[in-house]
Amino acid sequence: MSKAAEIDIASVSKVYGATTAVHAISLKIPAGSYCCFLGPSGCGKTSTLRMIAGHESISSGDIRLGNTVVTDFPPAKRGTAMMFQSYALFPHLDLIDNVAFSLKMKGVGKDERRAKALEMLKLMQMEAYATRRPAQLSGGQQQRVALARALITDPEALLLDEPLSALDPFLKIRMRAELKKLQKTLGITFVHVTHSQEEAMALADMIVVMNDGKIEQAAAPRQVFERPATAFVARFMGDHNVLSGRVVSAEGGVITLKVPEGQTFSVRGKGRKVGEPVDIGIRTDRVRLEAPAEKTLGFHGVVSNIEYRGASVKITAIGAGSDDFTVIASDGDYFAKPVSIGDAVSLSWTLEDAVLLGRP
């Protein structure tokens, strides 16, 4: 089992009556990669996954799996398999029959399909439970069975809809590691829908951030984290502050903007004209609670909240048009010079810690 297919989504839309859930998105998911669709509730990620699976019709555009256009194929003919959030196991069947189910539908003989099911249960380290029913399993074990059932058809791509959401936080982290290992072992393409930034960062080779039926950014986790493409991505990933204003100068590869409150800030970048609206992102973990020294940027604010997180402390401040400008300080730095709610503080950062954000 090592065939993997590229998934090519070409200008695909999904319209439900008056709602356009997905707006002409285009994306290539490389063969053998782990791709996570990430975004807030209702952004269109499940609709996209279901269109790849064939469980939802495609309103316009095409989907190709490997060399085959699968747009009009039924799910079983696509070379994909889907694992549902609820696992959708049959309560009255034992694990072998649950896992063997799709082979039965294909008319595979009993001995052959049971042998293959046992092989899949072994892959998921569940062979000892083969004769149990789903209700006699823990959540994590049910998930392994659901995976075995999806993989029995030898898919070129495995599609996972919020696969970890039913698990408690501890098990979630363990199963997450197992999913990653499984993907590496099988070498097939995994497409995983999640609303958890942490889950996507931990698992994905490519994160696709969606908002309002469109793709805001599709890139490696580090790129999404360090170079968010838009203000939405920067805010959604939660590791950047966003400041918005208008360009007051753009020369020598440095753009300076003025926020409505009057402060000016600079960022490296090109291609913006004076007077244009602009957003910049500033890494929360790079902001210092110190008076701006030479070559740093910043503003004066008032501390509005402090959250202790163990290894770090999250401080929020009001200023420069932001109600929640966030600073993540290491516990050492914070406790060397603690602040209190209501304190006036200086917030500063360097040019390298700011990123120019695009507008969709």
- The binding site for ligand ATP (CB under 6 A) comprises 16, 19, 21, 39, 41-47, 195
Closest contact distance (angstroms) between CB of 216 and ligand ATP is: 13
H runs (alpha helix) in the chain: 45-53, 95-105, 110-123, 139-151, 169-186, 197-203, 221-226, 231-237, 331-336
Residue nearer to ligand ATP on the CB measure, 80 or 241 = 80
Q: Collapsing DSSP states into helix, strand and coil, what is residue 134?
A: helix
> Which residues, at least 6 apart from 264, have a Cβ–Cβ distance to it below 8 Å?
245, 248, 256, 257, 258
Specify the pairing of strand 296-308 against strand 312-319: antiparallel
Closer residue to ligand ATP, CB minimum distance, 8 or 161: 161
CA distance 4 to 104: 24
Q: For the chain, what's the residue count? A: 360
Work out whether the CA dihedral 89, 91, 93, 95 comes out positive or negative.
positive
* Residue with Cβ nearer ligand ATP (230 or 348): 230
Minimum distance from CB of 192 to ligand ATP (Å)?
12
Cα separations (Å) of 229 from 102, 206, 233, 281, 340?
Answer: 42, 14, 7, 10, 34
Closest to ligand ATP by CB, 21 or 345: 21
The distance of closest approach from Cβ of residue 84 to ligand ATP in the complex, given in angstroms and rounded to an integer, is 12
Q: What angle do CA 29, 33, 36 make, to 5 degrees?
A: 70
- Please identify the residue of the shown chain whose CB is closest to the bound ligand ATP: 46
**Pick 124 or 164: Cβ nearer ligand ATP:** 164
Q: What's the 3-state SS for 63-103?
A: EEECCEECCCCCHHHCCEEEECCCCCCCCCCCHHHHHHHHH
**What is the spatial distance between Cα 314 and Cα 100, in angstroms, rounded to a whole number?**
50
In angstroms, what is the minimal distance from the CB of 27 to ligand ATP? 15
CB-nearer residue toward ligand ATP: 44 or 269: 44
CB of 49 to ligand ATP, least distance (A): 8
Q: Which is nearer to ligand ATP, 16 or 335 (CB)?
A: 16
**Minimum Å distance from CB 13 to ligand ATP?**
12
Between 19 and 136, whose beta carbon lies closer to ligand ATP?
A: 19
Closest contact distance (angstroms) between CB of 55 and ligand ATP is 11
Least distance (Å) between residue 21 CB and ligand ATP: 3
Q: Determine how many CB atoms are found less than 10 A away from the CB of residue 331.
A: 13
